[in-house]
A = this chain, B = another copy of it.
Amino acid sequence: MSQINEMIQRQLQHRTIREFKDTSIPREILEALMEVARRTATSNGTQQFSIIRVTDSSIKKEIAEVCNQEYVGRAPELLIFIADQFRNNKIIKEKGAETENASDMDRFFQGFTDACLAAQNVVNASESMDLGVVFLGSILNDSAKICKILKLPKLTFPVVGLGIGYSNQNPQLKPRFDNRLRIFENSYTIFDNYLEEMKEYDEEMTSYFDLRNANRRIDCFSDQVVSKISNSLPNRQDILKVIQEQGFKTERCSS
């Protein structure tokens, strides 16, 4: 691939960084990251996300407990990306207008998408400045608790977290299965036997060392799929209930 520029080289080398140097991120770098978040594409131009920057160490620890990942409390920067319909809903009220749609699931998903896009954009900006990053989907282990910790008003919802800092580790690049199993032309392609198709990949995965379990080789991919999906946490499964408690109208789903 002759077209690979520096940016793409970095993207192809993306690895999760969980251990950071004890160095804070300079203010001007953080401002650049937040400016990148601000300029990220948003659904319909309506800017339906917000970010909570967590600097209070006791709040960091509370979040680390939800994540069940101690290192989250030590991340130099901890950013929580929020789907936000509160702000636009308030604007509508201040305008004296009224609309039921402001809290429907379409709006929820638009905010959720905006938050994800901003998070990935910030990740790319971070990595371009030699920062390391960990995505924290684990904030959804208990989304209701995160809402409480960050005092999120109705019509907002936590989507994903980011820990950012200067890397203090050098993890191996994690193997990924081939794109022929993931990228299709014009319609979805179903394979007869994924275990057969993934045989080599499954083998490759066992040669990968996870720094979180540095003293043993890890399971092959297909075994990981079984164990990771079986071990889902009950609070995670209740995500729609919390979305509903946050004021979004989910009723139509059971009709």
Q: Does A91 contact B (CB under 8 A)?
A: yes
A215 at the interface (CB under 8 A from B): no
Q: Are A128 and B2 in contact (CB under 8 A)?
A: no
What is the copy number of this chain in the assembly?
A: 2
Interface residue ranges, A against B (CB under 8 Å): 1-8, 11-14, 16, 26, 28-29, 31-32, 34-41, 43-47, 49-56, 59, 82, 84, 86-88, 90-92, 94-95, 97, 99, 101-102, 104-107, 109-110, 112-113, 116-117, 119-121, 123-125, 128-129, 135, 137, 140, 150-153, 156, 159-160, 174, 176-177, 179, 181-188, 190-191, 193-195, 198, 222-226, 228-230, 232, 236-241, 243-244, 250-255
Chosen A-B contacts, 30 in total, with CB atoms closer than 8 Å, are A3-B28, A11-B36, A11-B39, A11-B125, A37-B182, A38-B176, A39-B176, A45-B228, A46-B225, A50-B188, A51-B184, A52-B184, A53-B183, A53-B185, A54-B186, A90-B190, A91-B198, A94-B195, A95-B222, A101-B229, A101-B232, A101-B237, A104-B237, A106-B232, A112-B116, A117-B120, A124-B124, A152-B188, A250-B253, A253-B254
